Amino acid sequence: MLKEKIKVAVFVSGGGTNLQAILESERRGEIPDAEIKLVLSNNPSAFALKRAENFGVKSVCVDKGVYKTLQEREEKTIEILKENGIELIVLAGYLSILSESFTKKYEGRIINVHPSLIPSFCGKGFYGLKVHEEALRYGVKVTGATVHFVNEIPDGGQIIMQKAVEILDGDTPEILQQRVMREAEWKLLPASLEKVAKKLREE
């Protein structure tokens, strides 16, 4: 007997293109084992909140300006997650490192997308354009994206899925970032979410 669909919260800080990819996949019926119940941001002006509204998904903001310390923000976040019955968290461009106590509390239930093939160009300080700048500086011919479970080590959790993306002559960090999003992140994240949700449902 399958449990009900796994209730998911997506954590965002910025534009929310990965959130858009998840919501569109859900609408197309490609994530049958999960339901996006909540979008949570730490940035009140994140465009991702508008995307959530466009899809009729509840959104909340745990504003750094209001909750000054990480502990206060995480306590408020946990309260919100409990209120909404959240069972799985997706980090989709969430620019805040979660504490060890938070990641332990949701062990095996937080996934993140990172714009490189881990273990390359990952860890503390590697996010956004910086990852692509470093890949180009190093001269690698292939990059990509990785979806992994989140633990107390930044980008250190078990890998769920990866997809390679070719680096082309003349690539700038911005061009490469767009290609990695289109060819890897926007496909991997919904697929990984479904894979994890399906397993949780069967447990």
CA pair distance 150, 89, nearest whole angstrom: 10
Q: What is the pLDDT of residues 61-105, one digit of tens each?
A: 999 889 989 999 999 999 999 999 999 999 999 988 899 999 999
Whole-number Cα distances in Å, 83 to 37, 78, 80, 118: 11, 9, 5, 34
Residues in the chain: 203
Q: What is the H or E stretch that residue 162 is in?
A: strand 159-166
What does the pLDDT read at residue 97? 86
C-beta separation of 150 from 110 below 8 A:
yes
Note the pLDDT of residue 125.
87
- Does 132 participate in catalysis according to the annotation? no
| Residues 133/94, Cβ–Cβ less than 8 Å | no
pLDDT given for residue 56 in this prediction? 98
Query: Which of these, 28, 33, 21, lies nearest to 199 by C-alpha position?
Result: 33
- The sign of the torsion formed by the CA atoms of 24, 189, 194, 39 equals negative
Measured between alpha carbons, how far is 50 from 14 in angstroms, rounded to an integer?
A: 11
Percentage of the chain beyond pLDDT 70 is: 99
Q: What is the pLDDT of residues 140-177, one digit of tens each?
A: 999 999 999 999 998 999 999 999 999 999 999 999 99
Q: Do 74 and 102 meet the contact criterion of CB atoms below 8 Å apart?
A: yes
Round the average pLDDT of the chain to a whole number and report it.
96
Report all structural domains of the chain as residue ranges with CATH numbers, in order of start: 6-202 (3.40.50.170)
Name the band, by pLDDT with cuts 50, 70 and 90, for residue 197: very high
pLDDT in tens, 21-36: 999 999 999 999 999 9
Say what the pLDDT of residue 3 is: 80
Which of 114, 132, 148, 179 is the catalytic position?
A: 114
Place 1 in a pLDDT band, splitting at 50, 70 and 90.
low
Query: Would the pLDDT of 2 be above 90?
Result: no
What is the band of 139 on the pLDDT scale with cuts at 50, 70, 90? Answer: very high
